[in-house]
């Protein structure tokens, strides 16, 4: 694994970096610098989208004193167009994605050491983040999961997430948010794609995402689960089961669950996104509220 050098100066960002994953794929990374960050937050995006859709989240976190790192996963965004193409994960499928995201996480932590490291994973990215916490818990001080679920059959929806909200003449992305502009923007974005018509993985490869949180994780990892009550991935039940598993199976003592009535899958793009982002910052501040991670 190799990386390009990273400067130390603070900027509103983002600056762009390349982290080369274990298979030699150049992963495109975007960095919102902070001179003395309270923590570094690594954004892990969902399937069919890209890191640029989280620029407003990064700005909110940056304004609150956090450094932010977001990467375009394999087969997505600039990483996808620069390698095999959009929607093509390449050899190893999800295992290669796990390796690539872990490589970025380790570099993000190194760039901003000794600041605490928090991963923020949305949807597919939240399932990737769950896997990384299980296999490399030493990386994590905090984990934020949005649009997520307990990842077992019968709980998580592995089918058409848009079916429930589909309307005649619509974009097909009404399930993302109550704000119709969100679905329209997704449909018009040349770097997004519909996983119902072009899935980057087979049903068998999707099984690599499933599983329960492991037993006996480190007890000092703080976990926040945020999601919409009308999210079609797992809904309130899937989020509650996941929170319970982190508490009772993994033994974590700081697990928070925030469910927003009426909200759909993309809570950071919902009609109440200001509330959701405010709750996210408040949760981070309560745990990482002083520069360089000296807890209050």
pLDDT digits (tens, 9 = 90+) for 153-162: 999 998 899 9
Quickly state the pLDDT bin for 12 (edges 50, 70, 90). low
Q: How far is Cα of residue 229 from the mean position of the Cα atoms in its chain?
A: 19
Give the global pTM: 0.93
Residue 5's pLDDT is what? 34
Quickly state the pLDDT bin for 43 (edges 50, 70, 90). very high
The total number of structural domains in the chain stands at 1
Strand partners, 211: 151
* Integer-rounded Cα radius of gyration of the chain: 18
Residue with tokens 């995402």: 209
Measured CA to CA in angstroms, residue 206 lies from 44, 94, 203, 211, 259 at distances of 17, 8, 5, 11, 26
pLDDT at 294 over 60: no
Residue 9's pLDDT is what? 38
pLDDT at 272 over 70: yes
Residue 219's pLDDT is what? 74
**Residue whose C-alpha is closest to residue 230's, from 141, 143, 157, 158:** 157
Answer for the pair 96, 55: CB distance below 8 angstroms, yes or no: no
Separation CA 106–CA 99 (nearest Å): 11
- Which tokens in the block code for residue 80? 């996808």
Phi-psi region for residue 93, left (φ > 0), alpha (ψ -120 to 50) or beta? left
pLDDT digits (tens, 9 = 90+) for 205-264: 999 999 999 999 877 899 999 999 999 999 999 999 999 999 999 999 999 999 999 999
Which residues span the domain enclosing 242?
15-293
Quickly state the pLDDT bin for 291 (edges 50, 70, 90). low
Separation CA 275–CA 278 (nearest Å): 5
Residue with tokens 């994953």: 21
Separation CA 165–CA 157 (nearest Å): 14
- Which tokens in the block code for residue 6? 């990273």
Q: Percent helix, strand and coil across the chain, each rounded to 5? A: 35, 20, 45
- The answer to whether residue 9 is domain-embedded is no
Give the mean pLDDT of the chain. Answer: 93
- As a whole number, mean pLDDT of residues 22-33 equals 97
- What CATH number has the domain bearing residue 31? 3.40.50.1820
pLDDT digits (tens, 9 = 90+) for 104-127: 999 999 999 999 999 999 999 999
**Residue whose C-alpha is closest to residue 57's, from 280, 260, 272:** 280
Separation CA 110–CA 106 (nearest Å): 6
- The answer to whether residue 123 is domain-embedded is yes
């Amino acid at each position: 694994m190799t990386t390009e050098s990273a400067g130390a100066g603070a900027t509103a960002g983002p600056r762009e970096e390349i982290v080369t994953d274990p298979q030699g794929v150049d992963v495109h990374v975007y960095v919102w610098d902070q001179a003395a960050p309270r923590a570094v937050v690594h954004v892990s995006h969902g399937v069919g989208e890209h890191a640029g859709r989280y620029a407003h989240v990064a700005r909110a976190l940056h304004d609150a004193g956090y450094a932010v790192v977001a990467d375009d996963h394999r087969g997505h965004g600039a990483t996808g167009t620069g390698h095999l193409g959009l929607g093509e994960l390449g050899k190893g499928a999800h295992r290669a994605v796990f390796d690539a995201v872990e490589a970025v996480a380790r570099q993000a932590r190194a760039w901003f050491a000794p600041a605490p490291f928090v991963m923020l994973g949305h949807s597919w990215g939240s399932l990737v983040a769950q896997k990384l916490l299980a296999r490399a818990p030493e990386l994590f001080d905090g984990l934020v999961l949005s649009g997520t679920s307990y990842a077992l059959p019968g709980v998580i929806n592995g089918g058409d997430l848009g079916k429930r909200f589909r309307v005649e003449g619509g974009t097909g992305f009404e399930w993302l948010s109550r704000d119709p502009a969100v679905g329209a923007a997704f449909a018009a974005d040349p770097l997004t794609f519909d996983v119902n018509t072009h899935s980057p993985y087979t049903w068998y490869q999707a099984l690599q995402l499933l599983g329960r949180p492991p037993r006996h994780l480190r007890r000092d990892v703080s976990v926040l689960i945020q999601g919409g009550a009308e999210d079609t991935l797992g809904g309130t039940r899937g989020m509650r089961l996941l929170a319970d598993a982190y508490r009772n199976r993994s033994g974590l003592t700081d697990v928070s669950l925030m469910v927003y009535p009426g909200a759909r899958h993309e809570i950071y793009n919902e009609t109440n996104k200001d509330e959701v982002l405010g709750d996210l910052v408040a949760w981070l501040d309560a745990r990482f509220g002083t520069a360089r991670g000296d807890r209050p």
